[in-house]
Amino acid sequence: MVYLYNLQPTPGSRHRRKRLGLGEGSGHGQTSTRGQKGQRSRSGDGKMPGFEGGQTPLLRRVPKRGFNNKAFRTVYQVLSLESIERVFKNQKEVTIEALKIHGMINGRGPVKVLGAGSLSRPYAVSAHAFSAGAMEKIKKAGGTATVLAAKAS
């Protein structure tokens, strides 16, 4: 019968760990598998990633080009008029707090309303930005579009 107390690994499937520097009898004495002399044989042999032994590293040999502003760009959480129409059927006011409650946005980043879809009734929409098409469709339906100031982060 197989019980937890009599389980054993298959013979030969498990290896003993290398016991380094514990005398010649261990088979890993003296230089402890590090070879003879040299940088890799010393303690504290930590080299930076990309280090090429003193040769100019690839990262510095390749020319740098262009400009990237990703770290400072504004990433909006986008929202369509279609989704506003679908979720806010019985309400007139669409605020950031209401959007969070309905799970349409998370708490991070400003919100931008895009003009995909149409509105059948007037809504008072508050967001950090609106596309020109969205602004036009909201006004056309008789609603208002309020631009909020971007929160300082």
CATH number at residue 143: 3.100.10.10
Structural domain includes residue 102 = yes
**pLDDT tens digits along 36-94:** 998 889 888 888 888 998 899 999 999 999 999 999 999 999 999 999 999 998 899 99
Q: Which helix (H) or strand (E) holds 127?
A: strand 124-127
Q: Cα separation of 116 and 142, whole Å?
A: 17
Averaged pLDDT for residues 115-143: 94
Query: How confident is the model over 3-22, as pLDDT tens digits?
Result: 999 999 999 999 988 889 99
Q: Please give the tally of structural domains in the chain.
A: 1
Residue 54 domain flag: no
Q: Does some domain include residue 97?
A: yes
Asked whether residue 130 is domain-assigned, the answer is yes
Q: Would you say 97 and 104 are in contact if contact means Cβ atoms under 8 Å apart? A: no
Alpha-carbon distance of 64 to 83, in angstroms, equals 43
Work out the mean pLDDT of the chain and round it to a whole number. Answer: 91
Residue 8 lies in a domain: no
Mean pLDDT of 20-39: 90
- The DSSP bridge partners found for residue 80 are 114
pLDDT computed for residue 59 by the predictor: 92
- Please state the pTM of the whole predicted model: 0.58
Mean pLDDT throughout 118-137? 94
Average pLDDT over residues 113-139: 94
pLDDT at residue number 152: 52
112 is written with which tokens? 């931008």
Q: Output b/e per residue, 119-146; b: 16+ Cβ within 10 A.
A: beeebebbbbbbbeebbebbeeeebebe
The torsion angles phi and psi of 85, rounded to 5 degrees, stand at -60, -40
The pLDDT value recorded for residue 153 is 46
Q: Which domain holds residue 93?
A: 71-147
Does 122 fall in a domain?
yes
93 bridge partner residues: 124
CA distance 140 to 129: 18
**pLDDT tier, 151 (very low <50, low <70, confident <90, very high otherwise):** low
> pLDDT over 70 for what percent of the chain?
98
| Contact (CB, 8 A) for 98 and 111 | no
| Residues found in the chain | 153
